[in-house]
Amino acid sequence: MAQSSPTVHIDKKMQKILLLFQKTEITEYHIYNRLSRRMSGQNAEVLEHIAKDELKHYHQWKRYTGIEVKPAKLKILFYLLVSRIFGITFAIKMLEKGEEKAEKHYGEIIDEIPEAAAILEEEQNHEAQLIEMIDEERIEYIGSMVLGLNDALVELTGALAGLTLALQNIRLIGIAGLITGIAASLSMAASEYLSQKSEKESKDPLRASFYTGIAYIFAVLSLVIPYFVLENYYLALLFTLLIAVGIIFIFSFFVAVVKEITFAKFFWEMVIISMGVAGISFLIGLLVRTFLHIEV
């Protein structure tokens, strides 16, 4: 037997808010439900549980409006794509941050609809606890990825800046940077393996070294590309520095969302360090060329 609508006066403003809640809940139900199908074991169970909660909340709001609401299909596709690229944990935490913006409306209706307080508490606490239960490998090894990317960005931007002024031969600079970067990535991966093995942490040393090396190589290939597609070495250096800032931006956003830290602080720390090293290396290249009279 269907539940009767609660005896609460719903004006146009409140109805608009409740319909927004309904759309959010039904959309997130479909997102969590679709994500659960791609997982197995505990992760699938957690996502299914959250999906059921979202659907339950949708029907609770529907009791007040009496209106069926369709999910936002583009939003569903967006988060499914994000989860493919950056992982389940990133997509979910990004989704929850978006939900926080909608939660500011709870204060406008909580006096009229006491049930809203219970729903809000469940959204904030119960689902947050469930999300923390999700086990994803790439998140476990995020420290290794940070190590690889950070070292590559600092070392290679510095090396390319110094080589650019010292050699002034765009293809030679690119080849030297590529060889230097690949050698450094193998060295960094080996160091991470030995570090994890000696510390005897819960991380698998081989996997930690793999994530460090892959992150390093990705950064190396991205940074040297301009030296193989452009003809002006100063322009290539400019594009390399822009690519470095772009990588830092994307990765800082990823870490900030997953680890729930301040994006701006993490981003600017990496930018200042990488660009600072590049600037110093550029000056070293100038001094080397001036005093050693290198001509290539």
Higher model confidence: residue 46 or residue 285? 46
Characterise 126 by phi-psi region: left (phi > 0), alpha (psi -120 to 50), beta (else).
Answer: alpha
* DSSP state for residue 2 in the 8-state scheme: P
Q: What is the pLDDT of residue 2?
A: 45
DSSP state of 3: P
Cβ(184)–Cβ(151) under 8 Å?
Answer: yes
Token digits of residue 154 = 């600092």
Query: Locate tokens 């529907």: which residue?
Result: 62
- Do 131 and 50 contact (CB within 8 A), yes or no? yes
Secondary structure letter of residue 105 according to DSSP: T
Whole-Å CA distances, 119 to 8, 22, 33, 222: 17, 12, 20, 46
pTM: 0.69
What number is the average pLDDT over the span 202-216?
Answer: 81
Backbone phi, psi, residue 235, to 5°: -65, -40
Task: Output the pLDDT for position 117.
Answer: 73
Q: What is the pLDDT of residue 73?
A: 93
Do 178 and 149 contact (CB within 8 A), yes or no? no
pLDDT tens digits, residue range 247-289? Answer: 889 888 888 887 778 888 888 888 888 888 777 877 776 676 6
Residue percentage of the chain with pLDDT more than 90 = 15
Distance CA(122)–CA(118), nearest Å, equals 6
As a whole number, the mean pLDDT across the chain is 80
* Selected residue with higher pLDDT from 140 and 243: 243
Q: How many CB atoms lie within 10 A of CB 112?
A: 13
Judge whether residue 76 has pLDDT over 90.
yes
Return the number of other C-beta atoms located less than 10 Å from residue 291's C-beta.
8
Q: Count CA atoms closer than 13 A to 276's CA, side-chain side.
A: 6
Q: What is the pLDDT of residue 34?
A: 92
Please tell me the distance from the alpha carbon of residue 108 to that of residue 96, in angstroms, as a whole number. Answer: 20
